[in-house]
Amino acid sequence: MALPKGTKAPDFTLYDSEKKKVSLHDFKSKNVVLLFFPLAFSSVCTKELCSIRDDIGNYGNLDAQILGISVDSLYSLDKFRKEQQLNFPLLSDFNKDVSKAYDVLYETFPAFEMKGVSKRAAFVINKDGAIIYSEAREVPSELPDFELIKSALQAAS
């Protein structure tokens, strides 16, 4: 079960697709939307992240920083980000530490019996570092509820 609403968000530092270290605490002055996704280049992940890309202005108006997190390598994420023209950072949780900390790691991914793949999950973290919205999908083909994410961001503003 994913970390629940009301929990202090675990801080982390990961490499982004541009080989730079990114930490959650770098965004203390913003609300943060963490989007864990199973696998770059898959159809559902592409649909999810491209819908965020296409709506980035609304997230910006809600003073939110989007961070995508996957267990893919930073090299795969770089190619994926460029091909899809994603306008927010993608972070590599290759060692699976952050997915474990947020309790969103499949023991066995339903498709192809892969071990240690991130669940599709969304967290909204307010400027105080508290999780104000949490959802994790057991079925990887189900997208996060973007309207509930935006509602949580509006409430945080």
Catalytic residues: 45
Rounded to whole angstroms, how far apart are CA atoms 13 and 35? 15
- Angle (CA) 103-1-88 rounded to 5° is 50
Q: Up-side HSE of residue 63: CA atoms within 13 Å toward CB?
A: 14
C-beta separation of 92 from 70 below 8 A = yes
- Pull the structure tokens for residue 92: 């590599």
